[in-house]
Structure 1
């Protein structure tokens, strides 16, 4: 369970082909990523998530649904039997674990290195300030690799892949070689969403941990 909690606060994606174009300059790559992200104000859909250790052994597998709205608002729900929920209104993040009857509350990390808000930011300035960015192209796929400039991050690298201009999958790699792969499907882009989804009402009897 704790593996999935850790993975949820990091986020990831994988591409299944070899890409061969020389990396663009970091600033240009950050701007291009920003331009792709800024085309989408809302995203809703399903995801599948797979966590592997450094040897490739499967640690955990899960599916769920998500709703995202720029900037920094999201609801990320993992289906039972590993049910968990990660919610943000852009300022506060709630991480709810029904099995533990516990919710952790913390402020949004404005550097974007600890939260899924990375997917929601259209700011090239924030991306280039916090990450070294490379971009590769192959056919209809554009693949971005981001490496945090700060040392106190939950991942060593984050890869975002877009197919025909739409986010398709992601992969996170941490310092010990653990990989979290996330594939997105059944996506709906730029459709109105209920903003009530981006706040969290703590259920009765649940322990609240403030961070």
Structure 2
């Protein structure tokens, strides 16, 4: 169950009960997309606490680290054995308890948008809906080259512009939300942070 929730929340967007076509974007929608793109493209590094909650009641938390372009790391707090890192090519899932490693192409996941360079929301992603609420922008998107892969909703504050959370819902209606807390930007992050570890030695490895 732990592994399923992590992979569902971070690496794969399963089918959502949403329209299969995207209505034309308004001028206000396009302006909101430009703001989001400028936010991502202006990032160099970012760290935040994250809280992951499923509608079935499972919870987990940890630290998210980003270093653009290409690198991100989700380190779950104990007792979770999970570590997920991106080296710019692969999204690498490690279960330290089972001593198993799984590689997923980074570009096949919607969360690649966090570390693409440059971020273009109308490139690899198709924007299906833009919602404007007071102080909040919500985007519903799917992979353009693989529309059946599913959907992701991202939520941003707009004053200041900041990614706050994303939500994934599967075909059974089970939701997994990941919220970011205590976000900091612009710190120095070493490249080794975004490499998986050898299970026996604990040393960083290149793949």
TM-score (norm 1): 0.75
Find the aligned partners of 2:162 and 2:147 in 1 and give their Cα distance: 30
Partner of 2:195: 199
SS in 1 for 2:106: coil
- Once residues 137 and 75 of structure 2 are traced to their aligned partners in structure 1, the CA distance between those partners, rounded to angstroms, is 27
For residue 34 of structure 1, what is the aligned residue in structure 2? 37
- Equivalenced residue count is 185
Structure 1 residues 141 and 41 mapped into 2: Cα distance closer, same or farther (>3 Å)? same
> Is 1:145 paired with 2:140?
yes
**d(CA) in 1 for partners of 2:117 and 2:33?**
10
Q: Is the 1:34–1:122 contact (alpha carbons within 8 Å) kept by the matching residues of 2?
A: no
1:68 aligns with 2:66: yes
**Structure 1: segments with no counterpart, 5+ residues:** 12-21, 207-211
Structure 2 stretches of 5 or more lacking a match?
Answer: 14-23, 203-207
User: 1:158: Cα distance to partner?
Assistant: 1.1
Deviation at residue 183 of structure 1 after TM alignment: 0.8
Greater than 4 Å deviation, 4+ residue runs? 25-30
Alignment root-mean-square deviation, CA = 2.7
Query: What is aligned with 2:26?
Result: 24
| Aligned match for 1:182, one of 178, 184, 199 | 178
**Where in structure 2 are the equivalents of 1:57-96 lying within 5 Å?**
57-58=56-57, 60-96=58-94
